[in-house]
A and B are shown apart, each in its own frame.
Chain A
């Protein structure tokens, strides 16, 4: 449009094209903040954001209302009278079919499961990745390929054999057993993550360290570890959220005494006894989601990087 306008303007004064310097567009092209494109773009993004945010909002407001208010209102209305009673109850008093300790028992179980599982699984997988990247031996790729395939095998297929293995070594139902299970099933993705990372480090660094007389563990601890802190953080994020959110292994491989928070939560909310206390349920749900949410919001970009790493790329 503007091009045609200037062309006609120049022609009408009868100037040759080259001398058209005074009139016509000049300087930066005008930008309108509220163009139709922008309204549609940001409008869509805001609507989409509401869809994603709504459940979080509903969880928060429901958990802050009293039961009478819930019965008369709707899930979206903000609480008229804020009460923290549901949170207290969800934490310490809510009942599952078995006990009335609330979520706190599950929380501490989850802590006791997650910490050693994260440490052990990352320790094993980082050594695997380091070996695969730097200390090749015949057949190592064969085991690695099986490991990666294992990432796709539905857990249901291996569920029972693992029960038998754990029973044979006397760890079925124990915390140690569950730590082993998490280390085993977390191994494919973490090994891949570490292998790719260590492969991306310059090989000459490894050679230089060997000329300098460092061995397998010397190079791992003195050269590789100090260089790889970011990837360890990524691995920690993957593992803490993954293990904290686990439900299946928690139910299959532990006794009720050791049930993690997710299992405890499901039992509280879906227990059929008594009146449904929606506010307590939502408080409990929020409490369970809190740990991964905090990790997510604190870690930001690293979380995204962890996800991209999980998106299997040989």
Chain B
């Protein structure tokens, strides 16, 4: 008297119905939306999207636009220095915090709180701190060094580093926390063994601990990189891309062409380039992280 075998499609029916929002998000927004943008990057869309093919024209124009080239250069400079500094500062702070110090919670709270703040708030505070008249430069001059110059936000050569200073303030605590978690995950006995072998602390870090932290480094790398490529709010709040084009970024290029210049084709081509950049980082990582596991 067994009830009829349920149709395969309706087995686990509730579970499937409950998964509809997830399926829609994955298929319609993430796959569909991304595909749509890529497809329309090959069209002549201006104010409204329309399917008039122009081949690679948008990309050609993109790479011939000075503002885009400058944005990419800015992103490269900002990204590389941000990456290196995030790692170095994050790791050094984590190593400091790992010395069985007192008030560890207090120090961690202090280093991490900026991460709770929005990029808008971060940008505005640092805009004020770096104000040449009243900010750091003004104070040093008041102290007697009349020729002291520190006005990154008004100097086209330095502006990008002014943005970076703010970004590091906001995000380095996160890197520190990640790396500290990694350090704490390392077996105590490794340290005991190194102590008995008489290996100096710095050597232990360099040759034993850091290689063991590879997974944490990779996670941090992926997080920092995708954050770098997305950087938008911070620049809008702190410099609005200026002075001149000194702090323009690709994400801002996309936004401006999409909603201001009403040149959708350009915006789609630019965002497709951003997607490519992310894929270059994420796909190898995903293959390592998830692909390798099947062979274990």
Contact = CB atoms under 8 A, between A and B. Distances in A.
B237 A75 contact: no
B14 to A, nearest CB: 4
B281 to A, nearest CB: 8
Contacts of B125: 55, 58-59, 282, 285
Contacts of B93: 48
Given A146-B27, A247-B233, A70 B134 contact: yes
B53 interface: no
A28 B229 CA distance: 54
B33 to A, nearest CB: 4
Interface string A181-208: 0011001000100000000000000000
B19 A143 contact: yes
A102 B178 CA distance: 38
A300 interface: yes
A307 B22 contact: no
B22 A216 contact: no
Contacts of B43: none
A75 B49 contact: no
Nearest to A70: B134
Contact of B101 (A45, A140, A154, A159): A45
B15 A289 contact: no
A141 to B, nearest CB: 10
Interface string A241-285: 100111110001000000000100110011000000010011001
A157 B177 contact: no
A293 interface: yes
B156 to A, nearest CB: 19
Interface stretch (B66-74, B77-85, B188-196, B263-271): B263-271
Nearest to B89: A48
| Among B37, B117, B258, residue most surrounded by chain A Cβ atoms (within 10 Å) | B117
Given A156-B254, A281-B128, A307 B115 contact: yes
Contacts of B28: 165
Contact of A131 (B18, B25, B112, B255): B18
A132 to B, nearest CB: 8
A289 B121 contact: yes
What is the predominant secondary structure among interface residues of chain A facing chain B?
helix
Nearest to B178: A311
Given A281-B128, A311-B219, A300 B109 contact: yes
Interface residues of A, number: 87
Given A131-B18, A162-B29, A248-B232, A157 B275 contact: yes
Interface string B31-66: 111101100000000000100000000000000000
A131 B19 contact: yes
Interface string B253-287: 01100110000100110111011001000100010
B11 A158 contact: no
Contacts of A310: 223
A303 interface: yes
Contact of A137 (B15, B21, B131, B240): B15
B289 interface: yes
Contacts of B49: 160, 164
Interface in B90-122: 93, 96, 99, 101, 105, 107-121
Contact of B15 (A53, A131, A191): A131
Interface string B12-26: 101110110111011
A215 B32 CA distance: 33
A49 interface: yes
Contacts of A73: 134
B276 to A, nearest CB: 10
Interface string A148-184: 0110111111111110110000000000000000011
Nearest to B238: A270
Contacts of B115: 307
A35 B285 CA distance: 44
Contact of B111 (A48, A159, A165, A288): A48
16 contacts: A51-B169, A52-B173, A56-B113, A75-B138, A153-B275, A158-B29, A159-B271, A160-B267, A164-B36, A216-B14, A262-B118, A269-B124, A282-B128, A303-B112, A312-B223, A313-B219
Given A281-B128, A296-B116, 14 more contacts: A48-B93, A52-B111, A55-B114, A59-B125, A73-B134, A124-B21, A154-B274, A156-B255, A157-B37, A160-B267, A160-B268, A245-B119, A289-B121, A304-B177
Q: Which 8 A-B pairs have the closest CB atoms?
A: A245-B118, A161-B33, A135-B15, A150-B30, A296-B116, A216-B14, A158-B33, A146-B26
Interface of B: 11-12, 14-16, 18-19, 21-23, 25-34, 36-37, 49, 93, 96, 99, 101, 105, 107-121, 124-129, 131, 134-136, 138-139, 142, 169, 173-174, 177-178, 181, 219-220, 222-223, 226, 229-230, 232-233, 236-237, 240, 251, 254-255, 258-259, 264, 267-268, 270-272, 274-275, 278, 282, 286, 289-290, 293
Interface of A: 41-42, 44-45, 48-49, 51-56, 58-59, 62, 70, 73-76, 124, 127-128, 131, 135, 137, 140, 143-147, 149-150, 152-162, 164-165, 183-184, 187, 191, 215-217, 241, 244-248, 252, 262, 265-266, 269-270, 278, 281-282, 285, 288-289, 292-293, 295-297, 300, 303-304, 307-308, 310-314
